Amino acid sequence: MSAPPGVTPTTPIRRSTSADESTQTEHHIRLGSDLLTFWGIGMSHNRLVKHVRRFEREVTGFTFFDYLANAVQADDEDRRRAHLDPELARAISYADPTGETAVRNVMGSRS
**pLDDT of res. 80:** 95
**pLDDT of res. 8:** 54
**pLDDT of res. 91:** 85
**pLDDT of res. 15:** 47
Q: Is the pTM of this model over 0.75?
A: no
Report the C-alpha gap between 31 and 88 in whole angstroms.
8
**pLDDT of res. 62:** 87
**pLDDT of res. 13:** 45
Report the C-alpha gap between 44 and 105 in whole angstroms.
29
Q: Which residues of the chain have pLDDT under 50?
A: 1, 11-16
**pLDDT of res. 87:** 87
What does the DSSP 8-state code read for residue 5?
A: T
Domain residue extents for the chain: 19-104
